[in-house]
Structure 1
Amino acid sequence: MTTPPSQPGAERTDGASVRIGALVPLTRPGWIQAGQHLLAGLELAVREVNDTGGIAGRPLELVVRDTAADPQRAAAAVDELAGLGVAALAGEYHSVVARAAATRADALGLPFLCSSAVLDALTEQPTEWVARLSPPQSRGWQVYADFLLAAGHSRIAVAAQPSVYWASGTRILRDYLAPRGGTVIELDMSALDATTVCDELVENRATALLLLVGHPEPAVPIVKSVRRDQRLAEIMIGAPAGQPEFAEWATLLGDDSAAIPFLRYLPERLTPLGVRVEEALREQLAAAPSFVAFEGYDTVAVLADVLRSNGADRARTAESWPRVAVEGTRGQIRFSRMPGISVWQWAGPPIQVVDRDPAELDRFRILHAA
């Protein structure tokens, strides 16, 4: 069952259900499609848990809060959900928002399984309360850097907006590429626009442009401008943060949406569970599910397993992270400690670099995998 966003105090208080708080971006400036896919995965898994007896006979209930990509709103939602008695938190797509939620959950002693945010430092200090399914940014973006080098790109421009997330991505790329002969040229999009960025690319002799900016603005105008500039006919456009994953990208850009490599977290072949879940998600979304939908499903699968084994006690849930062994849609999920990562981390999520096929925009081509 799912509880939609509502006013504080409007939820049931009879204690009959086991509640999970869900943080998802459902309104602007949040990435709405990402939030919809994340929520679809969460909801599907909750329905399946309840169809198979719930949590020791008690129904699992999702209490949804829209973060709208706002860190302060997310932190307030964590406070509210903690007061409503949720057993754990799940979700969130935007990294800066997830960091605010994780910091608050850690302070309150509320278990939080982060579904989809990748920023390495989800909390300033190591915490026992937070675990994560998505790979840390440093891992995924190094895989992307390997792809760039293998494709022959050594002068790489990044069109970046001011953000902890984008700054972290730029630093990861620079630190990884520099010892391997690569140069990262930073273009400050607070000072440039979609037209002037083309001039900078020509002047700096860049062979690749990476979009470290928001979607649809200014990512879509930048792509259109670069694609129409004859001086840049040979330049590769990339989007490591995954903007081309969702159908809206192809809708807004048409043929210009193709051949823009991005990161996604799917294996070449889904597990048998993943194949079944893909079919159910496709029916629910009336579209092909993104990797974010699978992350949502796997989040509830893990939490349900932990809650069945340990009950709804928050401290026992947090103590269970290192003992998790759950078969998810994309492989077996186990959490461990990784150097430089402050939360319990699934070390084995699959990582791909893919793009949309120019001959068939709805088809993705796997260009590189790790």
Structure 2
Amino acid sequence: MSRSRSRTAALAVTAAGLLAATAACGSPTAASGGGGGGGGDEEGGAPVRIGLVTSISGPLAAYGEQYLQGFEACLDHVTDGTDEVAGRPIEVVQRDDAGDPAKAVAEATDLIGQGVQIIAGSASSGVATQVAPLAEQNDVLFISGPAATDAVTGVNDNTFRSGRQTYQDVLTAQSFIGDPAGQDVLVFAQDSAFGQANVAAVTAVLGEAGEANVTPLLVPTSATDLTPFAAQARDAGADLTFVAWAGETAPAMWQAMGQQGVFDATNVVTGLDLRASYPTYGDQVAGQLNFLSHFFAEAVDNEVSQALAERVEAAGGTVDIFTPDGCTAAQMVVRAVEEGGDDVAAMISALEGWTFEGVKGELTIRAEDHALLQPMFQARLEQQGGELVPVLVETLDAEATAPPVATS
């Protein structure tokens, strides 16, 4: 089947913060030999090489770090500490895309040329949308990571995702505000693929479907003085201001919003981001914000989340917002290799429709378009022991936040 899709745009509302202060765990070692192949179920089979192309440097480096820690931890968990699948060692090759789509394509192309059949890891939506067609053209498996753009879902047979997508964020946000009909909604975001996807999402879900009046306020990604834009947000007179921000300028953005009185003028909703970002809100700001959440460690307690935390913490890291995306990717890789060997079509069939227990709870890869159906969370930040900590308000089940099926 072919999945060239026109899809409903949707919202990714991660209010990105500081680069993570977590310590890196030990990295998988890149193999020096050629591509994986051959062998299957017998002991001592040929290695399987997995290419993890993600942001090791650049503005989304903290997301890439968390992803890599999660992948390594759950590969260890799922393989019972062997890092082998069906008697074949898994060799992981890390490449840095620095959040640059051209660099990501170059790195992925090089890995594919070496015989790597599985590429994973994109933290940037711009990267994911460029690597996905490359996967189809070269018939390799691509498992996108934290990148939230809806454009990844249903784009082709070869592309999957291990994180949430934007529509799941917007439905979580809608659960806070109730009926949006007749309300004025301002989308405060960066003028990037990420920000534009947020505007399209809010327009589609709260505007066109929910009958709200949606207005964008897009900020150039190069802007360093955010005060004028915060003042515009204050003066817009919106019932709801939806902040969608990614990267290291988030602290300056929140400071400008506070200084310009935005929180006194409008109801602000945003996504809960890195733990390192919590202090940037400040007590007053945190107390006035509603947070939708993809994940925070206190939201879930199950076997997988416990195994993840044990391994990440033992390696000197901290479980954070995008650690589960790496864990889920490792689970998907093991499933694909166990069931498919070196046959990419068989890998795809093994993943389509698969339901499994993940860090967040029960996850399902929807067969029709490869959307990853998953629980989402409402949260707030509270002062506990002299620091802001996330508190679970409500868990929304996977069906409550399921995006519509991407259609051709």
TM-score in terms of structure 1 length: 0.84
1:13 corresponds to which residue?
34
Q: Please give the secondary structure, in 1, of the residue aligned with 2:152.
A: coil
1:354 corresponds to which residue?
379
1:170 corresponds to which residue?
199
2:247 paired with 1:215: yes
Task: Write the deviation string for residues 198-234 of structure 1: whole angstroms up to 9, x where unpaired.
Answer: 43234321244333333222x3222112212357435
In structure 2, how many angstroms separate the alpha carbons of the residues matched to 1:163 and 1:140?
Answer: 18
- What displacement does 1:53 show? 6.6
1:103 touches 1:122 (CA, 8 Å); kept in 2?
Answer: no
- What displacement does 1:14 show? 8.2
In structure 2, how many angstroms separate the alpha carbons of the residues matched to 1:230 and 1:153?
Answer: 24
- What displacement does 1:117 show? 2.0
Counterparts of 1:39-188 in structure 2 under 5 Å? 39-48=68-77, 49=79, 51-52=81-82, 54-122=84-152, 126-149=155-178, 154-178=183-207, 180=210, 182-188=212-218
- What displacement does 1:152 show? 11
2:270 paired with 1:239: yes
Give the AA of the match of 1:211.
V
Give the AA of the match of 2:159.
V
Counterparts of 1:15-34 in structure 2 under 5 Å? 16-29=46-59, 31-34=60-63
The 1:235/1:366 distance shift into structure 2, 3 A limit, reads farther
Deviates more, 1:179-188 or 1:59-68: 179-188
Task: Write the deviation string for residues 154-194 of structure 1: whole angstroms up to 9, x where unpaired.
Answer: 33322222222211211221232235453323223239852
The 1:50/1:188 distance shift into structure 2, 3 A limit, reads same
Residue of structure 1 aligned with 2:258, choices 217, 227, 242: 227
Residue of structure 2 aligned with 1:344, choices 370, 374, 386: 370
2:231 paired with 1:199: yes
Higher relative contact order (CA 8 A, sep 6+): 2
Residue of structure 2 aligned with 1:335, choices 355, 358, 365: 365
- What displacement does 1:52 show? 4.0
Q: Please give the secondary structure, in 1, of the residue aligned with 2:34.
A: coil
2:348 paired with 1:322: no
- What displacement does 1:272 show? 1.8
- What displacement does 1:305 show? 2.2
Give the AA of the match of 2:300.
R
Identify the structure with the greater helix proportion.
1
Q: How many residues align?
A: 354
1:249 corresponds to which residue?
277
In structure 2, how many angstroms separate the alpha carbons of the residues matched to 1:26 and 1:256?
Answer: 33
Q: Please give the secondary structure, in 2, of the residue aligned with 1:206.
A: coil
1:302 touches 1:324 (CA, 8 Å); kept in 2?
Answer: no
2:355 touches 2:362 (CA, 8 Å); kept in 1?
Answer: yes
In structure 2, how many angstroms separate the alpha carbons of the residues matched to 1:152 and 1:107?
Answer: 43
- What displacement does 1:43 show? 1.2
1:306 touches 1:324 (CA, 8 Å); kept in 2?
Answer: no
In structure 2, how many angstroms separate the alpha carbons of the residues matched to 1:196 and 1:14?
Answer: 52
In structure 2, how many angstroms separate the alpha carbons of the residues matched to 1:131 and 1:231?
Answer: 38
Q: Please give the secondary structure, in 1, of the residue aligned with 2:168.
A: helix
In structure 2, how many angstroms separate the alpha carbons of the residues matched to 1:257 and 1:68?
Answer: 31
The 1:202/1:137 distance shift into structure 2, 3 A limit, reads closer
Q: Please give the secondary structure, in 2, of the residue aligned with 1:245.
A: coil
- What displacement does 1:362 show? 4.3
Give the AA of the match of 1:354.
A
In structure 2, how many angstroms separate the alpha carbons of the residues matched to 1:109 and 1:14?
Answer: 15
State the identity as a percent. Answer: 19
- What displacement does 1:93 show? 1.7
1:50 touches 1:59 (CA, 8 Å); kept in 2?
Answer: no
In structure 2, how many angstroms separate the alpha carbons of the residues matched to 1:280 and 1:86?
Answer: 27
2:302 corresponds to which residue?
271
Deviates more, 1:186-195 or 1:76-85: 186-195
Deviates more, 1:178-187 or 1:83-92: 178-187
1:153 touches 1:207 (CA, 8 Å); kept in 2?
Answer: no
1:304 corresponds to which residue?
334
Deviates more, 1:65-74 or 1:311-320: 311-320
Q: Which runs of 5+ in 2 are unaligned?
A: 1-25, 37-45, 397-408
1:147 touches 1:368 (CA, 8 Å); kept in 2?
Answer: no
The 1:275/1:161 distance shift into structure 2, 3 A limit, reads same
- What displacement does 1:317 show? 1.2
CA RMSD of aligned residues (A): 3.0
1:40 touches 1:281 (CA, 8 Å); kept in 2?
Answer: yes
In structure 2, how many angstroms separate the alpha carbons of the residues matched to 1:273 and 1:232?
Answer: 38
1:258 corresponds to which residue?
286
Deviates more, 1:111-120 or 1:359-368: 359-368
In structure 1, how many angstroms separate the alpha carbons of the residues matched to 2:55 and 2:68?
Answer: 9
1:293 corresponds to which residue?
323
